[in-house]
Structure 1
Amino acid sequence: MNYTLHQLQVFLKVSQNESVTKAAEELHLTQPAVSIQLKNFQDQFEIPLTEVVGRKLYVTDFGKEIAVAAENILNEVYAINYKTLAYQGQLSGRLKISVVSTGKYIMPYFLAGFLKKHEGIELALDVTNKAQVIGSLERNEVDFSLVSVLPANLQIEQEELMQNKLYVVGNSDEKFPRKSYGIDLFETLPLIYREPGSGTRYVMERFIEENKLPVRKKMELTSNEAVKQAVMAGLGYSIMPLIGIRSDLKNGNLQIIPVKGFPITSTWRLIWMKHKNFSPVARSFLTYLKKEKSTIIAEKFSH
């Protein structure tokens, strides 16, 4: 046999997700690239690792055993690297964090100083949708998750980071000359929504329901970036987090429409499972975050 560590990593992700597409997303690879690596790995075994039934991929019993072995091998490889660094007196190990898509605009700033201070740490940062973020936390695949809406049915602990402010936004074609508009403006604005389960959509729908607004739902898109591009193209309006549109406001591609009651706010929180057994790296990062978060917010997000 002549399989590679990369093939083990690919097969492990495929087996965890039971999907080539989802594995490709989490590994930041193309779907064909994952399929090729999966085939090359399968070719080294006479017994099938996976099977497709009705267009759904399933991992065979043999494949599940190989997945467990693959995870053990990869963990041992990581351990070798970390033990070498630890022997040299460096804090070392993997820090695994899952982040909802909009959180990609803030999480790097809370990580940068810590990673510069500890060069022996390997970061695994997964930016994905809320359902996958919560799923990876529940399966104990990550140390922390960054969310703006807390999961309802998990026992977690949390560290508040900063406010998440959401505004009504549109492109720059139409003029809104008044200093303030009432919420009845929503009767005329075709709204673009995020997908169900999104934290942004949850906050948006909660505001609409609390105020009994008759809204015109225009379309539904699966990422903050897709919503932003649709709004800039003039396809409609949306309620969006300020953190993801600051540069677009500055260069005039988007405008904030001054509606009473806005901004509406949620809170960015770093969460972890209750009774989580932290690694030295995860414990050190949490200590760093509690100490430095106020300084980071003042330096990076106060403008």
Structure 2
Amino acid sequence: MQIFQEVARALSYTRAAEALNLTQPAVFAQVRQLEDQVGAPLIERMGKTLYLTEAGETVLQAARAILAEVDDMEMRLADLRGLARGRLRLAVVSTAKYDLPALIGAFSAAHPGIEVALTVGNRQELLARFAANADDLYILGTPPEGLDADSEVYAENPLVVIAPPDHPLAGRDCRVEDLARYPYLTREEGSGTRRAVERCFAEAGVAPVSRIELGANEAVKQGVMAGMGLAVLSRGTVALELRHGYLVELAVEGFPLIRHWHVAWPRARRRSLAAEAFLAVLRGGALSA
């Protein structure tokens, strides 16, 4: 059921296999075995697209309910053991992966019996996981919208304009309008950083001379260093490159854009002791057992 749920979420045997650290044939075989047990096809293919059958939708609803009960049982048993053993599932937007490992390291050092599972994705992917109740805590730039969620701010996330050291705007005071004269390298559709920057350009009434979508933060950084254009990224994402002089932060009026990191969780889900302990780390609390 866990395998089928992941295939149904991704509508791809390959992506499900990657998420589950299994081979694609193994995932395919498990879904076929479940179909044999149910006595009806659960997933069918139309061209290159997979879709759930009516039986598949029914099984998916049941699988979610059953697996949620199993998770609740495991959480209650872990709580009975205190923080000696257990599992913490975190889902974070890709930009947060630069700052979060230090916090996870501190948490793990204090609670070595807690296994931490970290999933990294863009905002849309995290919202899909949130809707499926797949994780304990979610780290995002903006709280989930339209979902039954609780959230709180735990840190600032300043967005800065970056350029190669020899860029004409380097070392100058400039405005958003000045940025529009140069190509702009952007994250993929669904990125919270991209949404914030597009809103900034729109409020200034300008648009970049051209926009190049490179997707991941690493690709954007490499593109800027190669002289392809300017970009706006979280300062934490480019801290190493700024420190070593591979990139420079431009002095742009209105920047940095101050956003915030939020931690969120399903309102209806009882937080485990492990989740509460990690929340204490995010809040700057003591790492106590």
TM norm. shorter chain > 0.5 = yes
Deviations 1:109-147 (A, max 9, x none): 222222222222121211001011112112221121111
Counterpart of 1:299 in structure 2 is none
Structure 1 residue 208: deviation in Å?
Answer: 1.0
Counterpart residue identity of residue 102, structure 1: T
Counterpart of 1:41 in structure 2 is 30
Q: Tell me which of 101, 125, 131 is aligned to 2:124.
A: 131
Contact 1:171-1:253 at 8 Å conserved across structures = yes
Structure 1 residue 85: deviation in Å?
Answer: 10
Counterpart of 1:117 in structure 2 is 110
Counterpart residue identity of residue 259, structure 1: V
Matched, 1:211 2:204: yes
| Percent of aligned pairs with the same amino acid | 30
**How far apart, CA to CA, are the structure 2 residues paired with 1:81 and 1:150?**
25
Deviations 1:233-291 (A, max 9, x none): 22211111111111112222212222222111100111122343212322332234334
Secondary structure of the equivalent of 2:16?
Answer: helix
Matched, 1:237 2:230: yes
Matched, 1:256 2:249: yes
Counterpart residue identity of residue 36, structure 1: P
Structure 1 residue 171: deviation in Å?
Answer: 2.1
Counterpart residue identity of residue 134, structure 1: L
**How far apart, CA to CA, are the structure 2 residues paired with 1:84 and 1:187?**
54
Structure 1 residue 156: deviation in Å?
Answer: 2.5
Q: Tell me which of 123, 143, 167 is aligned to 2:136.
A: 143
Matched, 1:280 2:273: yes
- In structure 2, relative to structure 1, the CA distance for the partners of 1:81 and 1:137 (3 Å cut) is closer
State how many pairs are aligned: 282
Contact 1:10-1:34 at 8 Å conserved across structures = no
Q: Tell me which of 247, 252, 261 is aligned to 1:268.
A: 261
**How far apart, CA to CA, are the structure 2 residues paired with 1:114 and 1:69?**
32
**How far apart, CA to CA, are the structure 1 residues paired with 2:199 and 2:180?**
17
Counterpart of 2:156 in structure 1 is 163
- The range that moved more, 282-291 or 139-148, is 282-291
Gaps of 5+ in 2: none
Contact 1:20-1:34 at 8 Å conserved across structures = no
Matched, 1:193 2:183: no
Structure 1 residue 68: deviation in Å?
Answer: 5.5
**How far apart, CA to CA, are the structure 1 residues paired with 2:65 and 2:267?**
24
- In structure 2, relative to structure 1, the CA distance for the partners of 1:76 and 1:199 (3 Å cut) is closer
Secondary structure of the equivalent of 1:104?
Answer: helix
Counterpart residue identity of residue 30, structure 2: F
Contact 2:8-2:60 at 8 Å conserved across structures = no
**How far apart, CA to CA, are the structure 2 residues paired with 1:274 and 1:285?**
17
Deviations 1:47-92 (A, max 9, x none): 65532122122345379649956995898699789959965x6433
Counterpart of 1:226 in structure 2 is 219
Give the alignment's TM-score, normalised by structure 2: 0.82
Gaps of 5+ in 1: 1-7, 296-303
Structure 1 residue 159: deviation in Å?
Answer: 2.3
Structure 1 residue 169: deviation in Å?
Answer: 1.0
Counterpart of 1:298 in structure 2 is none
Q: Tell me which of 73, 84, 94 is aligned to 2:87.
A: 94
Structure 1 vs Structure 2 CA RMSD:
3.3
Secondary structure of the equivalent of 2:210?
Answer: strand
- In structure 2, relative to structure 1, the CA distance for the partners of 1:85 and 1:275 (3 Å cut) is closer
Contact 2:139-2:263 at 8 Å conserved across structures = yes
Deviations 1:169-208 (A, max 9, x none): 1223435454412333123211112222211011111211
- The range that moved more, 61-70 or 123-132, is 61-70
Structure 1 residue 223: deviation in Å?
Answer: 1.8
Counterpart of 2:100 in structure 1 is 107
Counterpart residue identity of residue 215, structure 2: T
